[in-house]
Amino acid sequence: MNPHGPSRGRHPGRLLLTSLAAVAIVCAIAVWHAWSAPAEPVRPVAQAESAAIAPAPISLPDEPTVLVFGDSWTYGSAATLPTLGYAYVLGETQGWNTIVDGVRGSGYLKPGIDGGSYGERIAALDPALHPDLVIVEGSINDRRLYPTGFRDAVTAAWDALGALYPDADFVILGPAPQVLPVEKATARIDADLAELATARGWWYVSPIADDWITDANYAAVIDSSDFGRDHPSTEGHAYLAARVAEALDGMTALDAVAADAG
């Protein structure tokens, strides 16, 4: 006999049913939680604000018509004569029919001394000009007004320019530093222009990113006297013309390589 009282018989079937019921309850609770709890949101894949478009190689005819548009640097400020500015020197050395449209103090946002903002000046350009190439330079003059409205002003100006000269190639020449170290607003303007130009498949040249003006050559390129007021000297303009020509060679060399491959 069992001194602790009668023993209870074991019922395997009952234990199995109990176990199955417990498992079913756990599963039901898990499913309920899955449906009732808010799902982890699916995060979209981050995308660049503007998709990059590879610019096409530039192919210019013999003696092309080229419009160089910009601010005081394009005007030729601080050169012995404005016609010794980089835009004039570049056109002469390249054998272009060059139209130079530079306005001191002008920018995408800022009206200039002798004319309006870039957008206002583009609206006044001759639609019968039909340039083969348009180079748009600048502008450090926007650095005090940046960033409010800057990207919109750039987009509107470039839209108008593209509509005015639909058959032209476009090269955007970003701002070059007038002082070192490069001012933060100038660097941000350069970055914005690079992104916006790349998004529409236009060539972009960055004197900042390519170190055109450094501590090593600053005194030789920039006239910081009362006359020059941190603009390129005559020698500095010649240097800039050579750097722009070098950059353009890289854009047209691709076309030559493609022609040789064909």
CA distance 192 to 206: 11
**Residue 188 pLDDT > 50, yes or no?**
yes
Q: How confident is the model at residue 52 (pLDDT cuts 50, 70, 90)?
A: confident
Please give the model's pTM, rounded to 2 decimal places: 0.79
Residue 194: burial class (beta carbons within 10 Å; 0-12, 13-18, 19+): middle
Per-residue pLDDT tens over the stretch 145-174: 999 999 999 999 999 999 999 999 999 999
Domain of 252, CATH number, reads: 3.40.50.1110
| Pairing outcome for strands 169-173 and 203-205 | parallel
144 inside domain: yes
What is the C-alpha separation between 194 and 205, in angstroms, rounded? 8
Mean pLDDT on 138-149: 97
Domain of 81 in residue numbering reads as: 65-261
Q: Is 128 exposed, middle or buried (0-12, 13-18, 19+ CB in 10 A)?
A: exposed
In angstroms, the CA 121 to CA 104 distance is 12
CA dist list (Å): 106 to 46, 74, 95, 259: 36, 11, 27, 40
The single residue listed with the structure tokens 């079937």 is 13
Instruction: Note the pLDDT of residue 254.
Output: 56
d(CA 42, CA 120): 45
Give domain status of residue 1, yes or no. no
Q: Is position 106 within any domain?
A: yes
- Nearest CA to 57 among 203, 211, 174, 245? 203
Q: How far apart are CA 4 and CA 36, in angstroms?
A: 50
Task: Indicate whether 6 pLDDT > 50.
Answer: no
Question: 85 with 246: CB under 8 angstroms?
Answer: no
- Say how far residue 160 (Cα) sits from the centre of its chain: 18
> Rounded to an integer, what distance in angstroms lies between the CA atom of residue 210 and that of residue 161?
26
pLDDT in tens, 92-122: 999 999 999 999 999 999 999 999 999 999 9
Considering the domain boundaries, does residue 49 fall inside one? no
Region 197-223: what's the mean pLDDT? 98
Cα–Cα distance, 127 to 177 (Å, whole number): 32
How far apart CA 152 and CA 156 sit, in angstroms, is 6
Establish if 55 belongs to a structural domain: no
**What is the pLDDT at residue 23?**
39
pLDDT class of 253 with cuts at 50, 70, 90:
low
Is 18 a residue whose pLDDT tops 70?
no
Question: Is 57 inside any structural domain?
Answer: no
- Does position 19 have pLDDT exceeding 60, yes or no? no
DSSP track, 106-118: --SSS--SSS--H
For the chain, what's the residue count? Answer: 262
* Mean pLDDT over the full length of the chain: 84
| Number of compact structural domains in the chain | 1
| 3-state DSSP assignment of residue 186 | helix
Task: Tell me: pLDDT of 31 over 90.
Answer: no
Cα 243 from Cα 83, distance rounded (Å): 18
What count of other Cβ atoms lies within 10 Å of the Cβ of residue 195?
Answer: 15
Residue 132 counted as domain residue: yes
Judged against a pLDDT cut of 50, whether residue 26 lies above it is answered with no
Q: What is the mean pLDDT of residues 219-242?
A: 98
Q: Is residue 169 part of a domain?
A: yes
At residue 247, the 3 state secondary structure works out as helix
